[in-house]
Structure 1
Amino acid sequence: MHTSQKPIGLWSAVAMGIGAMVGAGIFALLGEASDISGSAVYVSFIIGGLIALFSGYSLGKLGARYPSSGGIIEYLIQAFGPGVFTGSMGIMMYFSAVVSLSLIAKAFGNYAITFLPKSAGDDLWRHLFSVGIIIMFVLINLRGAKDVAIWERITVGIKFIVLVILSVAGIAVLKPDLLAPSHYPPVNNIFFSLAITFFAYEGFRVITNVAEDMPNPSRTLPRAMILAIALVMMLYVAIAFAVFGNLPVAKVIAAKDFALAQAALPIFGPIGFTVVAITALVATASAINANLYAVTNVTYQMAKDGELPAEFGKPIGHSREGLIISGFLIIISLLLFDLSEIAAIGSISILFIHTVTHIGHLKLIAETGASRALVIVAIVFSVSAMILALDYVLKTADHVVSILIGFVVVAVVTEIALRIITRRELKPRV
């Protein structure tokens, strides 16, 4: 972020992307997605992965040309200039990241309480675990980027080994009739579940935020982006086969807060449940770690550009005060709000931001050297997925649309208010 060392290499960046995606995805959202698309959820994961790959190509090319800790914020500024529109988009992305981290922290709490006896105090313990993990990683991130990279390599290795073993063992003993197309829901549901499954990939964007900590971002960033998404897509599909090949959809939905651990029961027994639950704790913790690092880089860049108060960019320890402020906002969010629809809100918000970024990329394509056709495909895929997700929430939870509108309004009002309060003069970036 602001150190002179360059500790983030290819596999460290891949590990950070995987850490962010897997923790926020398969552990936290598998049950939610299966509630919509049933045993065909693997198809939704494939489609979501393809959308992420094309988005990753576009963002990777932008990051190679404009390596910056600000990631998408930098690309928006390069394409549209540092105006109210770009600032509002940046604040929207920041809010999305805060809410995403709240969701992951809640997932950590859900798995943590499986180790405690059932009691009336489960909600209290869930909150304590969720808050505690955020505080712990705020303290870890204060030590700087090198510790973040080391932690990611360790945790990603652990959860990948466990999940691969679960996938291979589950596929080896799966019951084909449970995966028969006759059990699939209507085709529309498979597409509608993109409102959940794409959110399981959205963590790949954290790789763009470590560009300044890469020795050779023009080469490393695009490769890390594609590698991380491709590996996660294969893992998600394998896990989906293992889970739904051994458990009826109803059982997965019933245990959706800890669906993967439940899936290990018929394969490995109680020991398998415990091992997967521990892995879930490691995975969600890893996602919190990677996303906190990325959010701090984004807020630092935004503060440097005058898009957030200067306090976000002030040094503290080996990080920035934005880390402390973000941690505080995440804790407030997870304590105050019901996050059951956050995946849909997050997916739609991120898809909108990605669409705008890809459109901006077309203005910069002569500088990035990207394929215009592939960037256009990224735009079409992102828009299509966003429309499908909006259609789904309109039919099932139309108040989510009101929340999304409020989300945009708050971002714009906040940006305008910051400009009035700080009275800053906007200058073109070089």
Structure 2
Amino acid sequence: MVGIGAMIGAGIFVLTGLAVEISGPAAIVVFALNGGVTTFTALSYAELAAAIPRNGGGYAYVREVFSAPVSFVMGWTRWFTYMIAGSLYALGFASNFVEFGHLYGFTLPGPPVLYALGAVVTLVALNALSTEASGRGETAITLVKIAILGVFVVFGLTATKVGEFDPLFTEGPLAVLPAMGLTFIAFQGYDLIATVTEEVENPRVNIPRAILLSVLTTVVVYLLVVFVAIGTLGADGLAGAGETAIAEAAEGFMPTFPLIGTGAALIAFGAVFSTISALNAVVIGSSRVAFAMGRERQLPASLGRFHHRYGTPLVAILVSAVVMLVAVVVVPIRIVGNLASLFSLLGFIIVNYALIRLRRRQPDLQRPFEVPYYPITPVLGIVCNALLGLFIDPFTWALAIGWLIFGGVVYFLLSRRGDIGPTESPEIQDPEPIPTAEQGDD
């Protein structure tokens, strides 16, 4: 549910119309191809998670096979990506929450940013007190939004016209590539599963299983939603609707529901749940990356400790929350959203290469799950992610280089002060049990 909750965020609601505007009815191909690209890297994550059952996700894997500076860059960028994504989801929640009120004739007091800040604070408190509670909350919220999209699909299939997909490539086959770059952010999130490895029972089996099931479920849901949206409203109608395309499509064929109201109101309700579950997922993920870096002495050691009573990485959660709250208020979201996408693509390239390097360095390592068709699969992951990265604008690349330079300065200054220092990565083994509240009380 962490993986599905992070992947099915606001992206499917706001990006479908924009993708159709670029590629026409071939947007269904765009989502299918992005699902394939995502699967290549998800398979690499699954194998690495089974072989290296540690918190931190991609950072933990890179730390195992690369030098300290390279692993710091990976952790620094992933931490940044998750925190910035959190600010995006928080603001997305606020705008959808305010719009949901408008549908019922209510004008909520105060600016939307206050609701964004409130959402971050609430979920941070939940995560700080209990990993189990935040996981249960994620499950409940994610099930609600899947149910809402399921209702959209069930009603929409009866009204879908297959003729809306003919011709398929109205904008030309090459228009698929920029549309893939635009919508790729909607396929990110499964990697968050690997950041909580040490807080899961039997992680060598359950983490790979969760990664692959979350990707499969999300891709199926996306393809059904896009198929219904194009087949009911048509490519031209979706393109004209832009960010409200799914809501407008729902308005055309969905009935009025008791208590909720029109189809558009139901979709707005789903968007609220989607953004809040995605926000909860990145609160979990960002803190676990900071925790892993603190434990490896690549950030201050205080970040790398579990709280003796709550059994959560409390300091890492609070530090990540502070950055997230600042980003909600001051960061230009549209620019940094592109930056987060670029860092994700670069991170996925490194993870695929880490798989190849680990296979060569430790061929006898226990691997409960192995990537099929190795090395073709990780190589395709590298090539496809690199290709999508080429469609990120030069200004975003310049910002990315600037952030990396800033990270290098931070690493150097902390090293000079003795707050951090390179350490040898420990032998791969099953994680230590996490302290529970009962153990802490004793």
Give me the TM-score of the superposition, normalised by structure 2: 0.85
Aligned partner of 1:37 in structure 2 is 23
Given that 1:108 and 1:130 are in contact with CA atoms closer than 8 Å, whether structure 2 keeps it comes out as yes
Aligned partner of 1:402 in structure 2 is 398
Aligned partner of 1:312 in structure 2 is 303
Q: Trace 1:174-193 onto structure 2 (pairs within 5 A).
A: 174-181=160-167, 184-193=170-179
Given that 2:58 and 2:74 are in contact with CA atoms closer than 8 Å, whether structure 1 keeps it comes out as no
Given that 1:28 and 1:257 are in contact with CA atoms closer than 8 Å, whether structure 2 keeps it comes out as yes
Change (3 A) 1:153 1:371: closer
Aligned partner of 2:258 in structure 1 is none
Q: Trace 1:189-208 onto structure 2 (pairs within 5 A).
A: 189-208=175-194
Whole-angstrom CA distance in 2 between matches of 1:24 and 1:414: 33
Given that 2:298 and 2:421 are in contact with CA atoms closer than 8 Å, whether structure 1 keeps it comes out as no
Give secondary structure in 2 for the equivalent of 1:173. Answer: coil
Give secondary structure in 2 for the equivalent of 1:428. Answer: coil
Given that 1:110 and 1:258 are in contact with CA atoms closer than 8 Å, whether structure 2 keeps it comes out as no
Whole-angstrom CA distance in 1 between matches of 2:91 and 2:296: 32
How big is each residue's C-alpha offset from its partner over 1:18-51, in whole Å with a ceiling of 9 and x where there is no partner?
0111015313533443343333222111111112
In structure 2, give the amino acid aligned to 1:402: A
Given that 2:352 and 2:382 are in contact with CA atoms closer than 8 Å, whether structure 1 keeps it comes out as no
Offset, 1:373: 4.0
Whole-angstrom CA distance in 2 between matches of 1:335 and 1:37: 34
1:427 to 402, 423, 430: 423
In structure 1, give the amino acid aligned to 2:317: L
Offset, 1:176: 3.0
Q: Trace 1:312-331 onto structure 2 (pairs within 5 A).
A: 312-313=303-304, 318=310, 319=312, 320-331=314-325
% identical aligned pairs: 23
Whole-angstrom CA distance in 2 between matches of 1:123 and 1:414: 40
* Most deviating of 368-377 and 20-29: 368-377
Aligned partner of 1:5 in structure 2 is none
Larger Rg: 2
Change (3 A) 1:405 1:33: farther
Change (3 A) 1:184 1:144: farther
2:351 to 341, 350, 357: 357
Residue 84 in structure 1 maps to residue 69 in structure 2? yes
Give me the TM-score of the superposition, normalised by structure 1: 0.87
How many residues end up aligned between the 2 structures? 410
How big is each residue's C-alpha offset from its partner over 1:311-331, in whole Å with a ceiling of 9 and x where there is no partner?
434556733122122122112
Name structure 2 gaps, 5 residues minimum. Answer: 256-260, 427-442
Whole-angstrom CA distance in 2 between matches of 1:193 and 1:345: 17
Whole-angstrom CA distance in 1 between matches of 2:337 and 2:176: 16
Given that 2:8 and 2:186 are in contact with CA atoms closer than 8 Å, whether structure 1 keeps it comes out as yes
Higher helix share: 1
Aligned partner of 1:348 in structure 2 is 342
Whole-angstrom CA distance in 1 between matches of 2:102 and 2:372: 56
Whole-angstrom CA distance in 2 between matches of 1:278 and 1:406: 38
Q: Trace 1:7-406 onto structure 2 (pairs within 5 A).
A: 15-81=1-67, 83-117=68-102, 125-181=111-167, 184-249=170-235, 251-253=237-239, 255-268=241-254, 271-313=262-304, 318=310, 319=312, 320-365=314-359, 366=363, 367=365, 369=367, 370-371=370-371, 373-390=373-390, 392-394=391-393, 398-406=394-402
Change (3 A) 1:56 1:21: same
In structure 1, give the amino acid aligned to 2:319: I
Whole-angstrom CA distance in 2 between matches of 1:265 and 1:419: 57
Given that 1:80 and 1:86 are in contact with CA atoms closer than 8 Å, whether structure 2 keeps it comes out as yes
Name structure 1 gaps, 5 residues minimum. Answer: 1-14
Given that 2:19 and 2:27 are in contact with CA atoms closer than 8 Å, whether structure 1 keeps it comes out as yes
In structure 2, give the amino acid aligned to 1:427: T
Aligned partner of 1:3 in structure 2 is none
Given that 1:195 and 1:344 are in contact with CA atoms closer than 8 Å, whether structure 2 keeps it comes out as no
Whole-angstrom CA distance in 1 between matches of 2:242 and 2:337: 14
Given that 2:291 and 2:303 are in contact with CA atoms closer than 8 Å, whether structure 1 keeps it comes out as yes
Given that 1:21 and 1:200 are in contact with CA atoms closer than 8 Å, whether structure 2 keeps it comes out as yes
Whole-angstrom CA distance in 2 between matches of 1:35 and 1:421: 52
Offset, 1:133: 1.2
How big is each residue's C-alpha offset from its partner over 1:139-197, in whole Å with a ceiling of 9 and x where there is no partner?
11122111022112211211111111211221220233433225632222212222222
Alignment RMSD: 2.5
Given that 1:17 and 1:206 are in contact with CA atoms closer than 8 Å, whether structure 2 keeps it comes out as yes
* Most deviating of 302-311 and 231-240: 302-311
* Most deviating of 257-266 and 285-294: 257-266
Change (3 A) 1:254 1:408: farther
Whole-angstrom CA distance in 1 between matches of 2:95 and 2:238: 15
Given that 2:4 and 2:218 are in contact with CA atoms closer than 8 Å, whether structure 1 keeps it comes out as yes
Offset, 1:415: 2.4
Offset, 1:407: 2.8
Whole-angstrom CA distance in 2 between matches of 1:372 and 1:362: 13
Offset, 1:249: 4.1
Give secondary structure in 1 for the equivalent of 2:333. Answer: coil
Whole-angstrom CA distance in 1 between matches of 2:201 and 2:5: 21
Change (3 A) 1:372 1:410: farther
Whole-angstrom CA distance in 2 between matches of 1:416 and 1:30: 43
Whole-angstrom CA distance in 2 between matches of 1:174 and 1:114: 27
* Most deviating of 121-130 and 399-408: 121-130
Aligned partner of 1:9 in structure 2 is none
Given that 2:297 and 2:423 are in contact with CA atoms closer than 8 Å, whether structure 1 keeps it comes out as no
Whole-angstrom CA distance in 1 between matches of 2:380 and 2:169: 30
